[in-house]
Structure 1
Amino acid sequence: MGLEVESRPSDSPYIERVWRSRSSGGVDRMTAVACARGELVVWEHRGRMCAAVLGPESKASQAPVPEDATFFGITFSLGTWMPHLPFHRLVDRSADIPDPTRTSFWLKGTTWRLPGYDNAEEFVRRLVREEVVERDPVVAAVFRGESPDLSERTIQRHFVAVTGLTRVAVRQIDRARRAAILLQERTPVHDVIDRLGYFDQPHLARSLARYVGRTATRLAEGDPAEPLSLLYKT
């Protein structure tokens, strides 16, 4: 009973994670953790198909969990975006994809076969070929730890244009997600502070409250009645 989630990494430069989940009762809401990436999500509930492009989430929020629903999602890598549905306009929002079926949906004037957990990469390769999905080389390079020969102002413009978030905000969100994973693994709080560069315990607590919606204690103990959205190591 509850919410079962399965995910895997991807070797595609355009995809960070592929996931699927199933709700089977006992859980009616979850905490959606902040995420600097956009997603394509398809789900079925009571025979009805739905699909949407989700923009980056700048803070933690509550999300309903419909009973007996199945979900499939592609989390795009940082720097990947859809020019016709720019993520900077979808921060903390989503754009519904109209009238999906169990086999296809309509996106940017074309009918696309519904992707699945095992063929997400092929689906995204086609999106790239048809210029539905692009990857910003500046944001991608910075995320890899490189230092492009550009001014900080130019780099900032790329981050805001692609993600709707500043470079600092992206870094803070990613750090809070890493902190949440470490705390779930029962890493001592002082080790998390030292490892991730927080000033002190109140600084960590504020970050967790804003971006994860949990205290360090709740993360260590777990909360099956209200699960977190997908957390994973990059």
Structure 2
Amino acid sequence: MYAERASRLTGAVVWTNSPAGTGTRPVLPDGCMDLLWNEDRLLVAGPDTRPYLPEGPARCWTGIRFFPGTAPALLGVPAHELRDLRVELADLWPAARVRRLAGRIAAAPDPASALEDLALDRAAEAGPPDPVLRRVVECLAGGRPVAATAAELGLGERRLHRRCLTAFGYGPKTLARILRLQRALALARSGTPYAETAVRAGYADQPHLAREVRRLAGMPLGELLAGDGGDG
């Protein structure tokens, strides 16, 4: 069973996912990176460009999903180095430090809150997030073209591309496609007809929507929505 709540860290979401029923749902690209807690281990989920299907038996997970573009400054690693990967936090930070943090979370009565405290402590050390990155997300999520986004922010397209690789793990065109997918899924899940979803989300037509869902989610939209049952 999947549950989430807004984090005390601005823009982030704290979530838990416990096995329920049979089958495992894929994790879809969303423009975000997550800090994960699972069976006394701290891991980082890098930015996805394709659906990720967890391997092995179903497990209980706790995570904090950072607002798009903010995790690299907290973790100290460019997002593109973690693209489509799940890695141990100890591969990014000193192992002794990670062991202490893991021990603190394991001893906490609520691992989700302890994980959130870890993120808040790191955010306080790192300082406020880059406001330009939030504007990038807002512009692209609103359907603004990459060239117009770069112009509004006073950045050349090449410079915007470099900044996006570091912050999001891929270029602005890929980020725009992923944010558009998430916009479409939200509309479709609310009951909006597929043809209207396509128009409102910024696709050329319903076949364009269908192709993009297959490419980024790995299955048709109807199958994806039929399988929604609470998994994150």
**1:188 Cα deviation (Å)?**
0.3
Task: Say which of 16, 19, 24 aligns to 2:12.
Answer: 16
- Residue deviations 1:134-159, cap 9 Å, x none? 73332122223483232232222111
Structure 2 regions of 5+ residues with no counterpart? 140-148
Give the Cα–Cα distance (whole angstroms) in 1 for the partners of residues 41 and 115 of structure 2.
Answer: 17
Match of 1:59 in 2: 50
CA distance 1:142–1:38, change in 2 (3 Å):
same
1:85 is the counterpart of 2:80: no
1:223 is the counterpart of 2:218: no
1:174 is the counterpart of 2:188: no
TM-score, with normalisation over the residues of structure 1?
A: 0.77
Task: Say which of 73, 77, 83 aligns to 2:63.
Answer: 73
Instruction: Name the amino acid aligned to 2:227.
Output: D
TM-score, with normalisation over the residues of structure 2?
A: 0.78
SS of the equivalent of 1:64 reads: coil
SS of the equivalent of 1:51 reads: strand
Is the Cα contact below 8 Å between 2:30 and 2:178 reproduced in 1?
yes
Give the Cα–Cα distance (whole angstroms) in 2 for the partners of residues 203 and 158 of structure 1.
Answer: 28
Match of 1:213 in 2: 218
Q: 1:59-208 residue pairs with structure 2 within 5 A?
A: 59-64=50-55, 66-67=57-58, 69-80=59-70, 81=72, 82=74, 84-98=76-90, 107-108=93-94, 110=97, 111-112=100-101, 113-114=104-105, 116-118=111-113, 120-131=115-126, 135-145=129-139, 147-208=152-213
Give the Cα–Cα distance (whole angstroms) in 2 for the partners of residues 42 and 89 of structure 1.
Answer: 21
**1:214 Cα deviation (Å)?**
3.0
Instruction: Name the amino acid aligned to 1:223.
Output: G
Structure 1 regions of 5+ residues with no counterpart? 100-105
- Residue deviations 1:183-232, cap 9 Å, x none? 22221011101101101122101111122233232244x126xx6852xx
1:40 is the counterpart of 2:38: no
Larger % of helix: which?
A: 2
